Chains A and B, each alone.
Chain A
Amino acid sequence: MKRHLISAADLSRDDALLVLDTAEELARVSSRSVKKLPTLRGRTVVNLFFEDSTRTRISFEAAAKRLSADVINFSAKGSSVSKGESLKDTALTLEAMGADGVVIRHGASGAPYRLADWVNGNVVNAGDGTHEHPTQALLDAFTMRRHLGDLDGRRITIVGDVLHSRVARSNVLLLSTLGAQVTLVAPPTLLPVSVGTWPCEVSYDLDGTLPKSDAVMMLRVQRERMNAAYFPTVREYSRRYGLSADRYAHLPEHAIVMHPGPMNRGVEIAAEVADSTRSTIVEQVGNGVSVRMAVLYLLLGGSEPAIGAGE
């Protein structure tokens, strides 16, 4: 059976916990002298990156290689794609190479679903447009679990450009699956119109929300949004929705500060907050490899995938 991880909604609570528990075990491999497992020997994983994202690509590449998979990196720049080859033709090429798993990053929302229609391998979404980024949500949950323990009942605040954020979409879905209480904080212009139907709370008041948060996740805000009148100025955005040192002081003692990167220091997050002891921003990057190993193992390691949405 073909199964994919394209949306965080593809994961049941049991699936999500299986990924996180597996990642916890696999994290130990990273501290061994031989950082490799033979599990995916002979399997081919293609990293299909239509958008530049060195960090995510390297993370998936390291994960696949630590599991001994053959990794083929296919980036759109300088390839036949930039010469106008369609996603479908690229998919057929991958099919011909016998890809068991395809990790896709694409600027268009839904591109992984289109790909999944055309290939036989299992598809992992490494970020598609403004839709989702499920492995980022998994690594965020993994990071939170390490600091906060079980996420059931934990209060997680996500701040910023929710409207355009694939990280926010995946996090809301996954965290609610895991029983956490999510609050989104953003200017109303940067919230989806139907956010009221999402499994989370919404607030426009960051100061009121922070003292009740176990973790606060700051989302990147692109300066271009200002030109489309989403907010008046970067300065005003930062004043109302940025995590300044003053606001940081109002977080509970145990609360952690997260950011999926890349950061705009001084816009959504103050430099001293990003570098503070309760910031998990660097740790999140490292956890990415373990979580992606778990996802690749559970999708490709057995006779059929143990997680994900089937067709």
Chain B
Amino acid sequence: MSAARNQEQPQYKAVLEAPEIRRALTRIAHEILERTKGGSDVVLLGVQTRGVNLARMLCRRLEEVEGLKIPCGSLDVTMYRDDLRMKPARAIGRTELPGDGIDDKVVVLVDDVLFSGRTIRAALDALNDLGRPRAVQLAVLVDRGHRELPIRADYVGKNLPTSLKETVKVLLGDVDGRDAVLLGPKTDPKGDDGK
């Protein structure tokens, strides 16, 4: 079985490499500062799991660009997902809000790939139970299209037209040992949520 799997291992091609990812994050950092009048009251919340690493990277970039210490936290949306009943119950991740919370803040949700929009829908629901931000914005590294809900990103690293038969993988240095965005054929027609 595993041997057969290996033979079917699809060929991924890199659509973004480390330098491009770095440039995209830098651009997003600048855009956030512009749109939020210099980043006041901004809180970055990374969506578990890759979004958390991206949020930290973005946070470092903001500090480099503007010398700003933007509060950064993590948000796990597992318990709010609408596809919980489609897979076995899974482990949940950490939700950690910065010390001052999110009330009256401009919360920028950070995720790696925007696809159906369902993860972000769950994130908005989760935020609802955690406080009342003044505004919520969305930053993603890749927007691959195929939205199933009326959700759009405020900041996009790269718009990547894809087919539903494809899958997008984001690799990040601190977890995967390499920064890259990979595009390849979808392997599991059911389970994968397109990332």
Q: CB–CB under 8 A between A and B in the complex?
A: yes
Which of chain A's residues have a CB closer than 8 A to the CB of B131? 33
Query: Given contacts A25-B76, A38-B79, are A301 and B89 in contact (CB under 8 A)?
Result: yes
**Chain A interface: which size bin?**
20 to 34
**Closest B residue by C-beta to A296:** B89
How would residues 1 to 45 of chain A score, 1 for a CB under 8 Å from any chain B CB and 0 otherwise? 000000000000000001001100110100011101111000000
**Closest A residue by C-beta to B81:** A39
A32 vs B95: C-alpha distance when bound (angstroms): 11
Q: Is A152 close to B, CB under 8 A?
A: no
Cβ-defined contact, B80 with A302, below 8 A: no
Q: Is B37 close to A, CB under 8 A?
A: no
Cβ-defined contact, A25 with B92, below 8 A: yes
A304 vs B90: C-alpha distance when bound (angstroms): 10
Query: Given contacts A28-B95, A37-B129, are A297 and B88 in contact (CB under 8 A)?
Result: no
Q: Is A288 close to B, CB under 8 A?
A: no
Q: Is A62 close to B, CB under 8 A?
A: no
Q: Give the number of residue pairs across the A-B interface with Cβ within 8 Å.
A: 55
Cβ-defined contact, A302 with B90, below 8 A: yes
In this complex, the member of B85, B92, B95, B130 whose beta carbon has the largest number of chain A beta carbons within 10 angstroms is B92
Q: Is B125 close to A, CB under 8 A?
A: yes
A107 vs B76: C-alpha distance when bound (angstroms): 40
A303 vs B89: C-alpha distance when bound (angstroms): 7
CB distance from A198 to the nearest CB of B (A): 30
**Closest A residue by C-beta to B122:** A38
Cβ-defined contact, B130 with A22, below 8 A: no
Cβ-defined contact, A32 with B130, below 8 A: yes
- B residues apposed to A, CB below 8 Å: 76, 79-80, 84-95, 125, 128-131
Counting from the closest, the 3 A-B pairs by CB-CB distance are: A302-B89, A301-B89, A306-B89
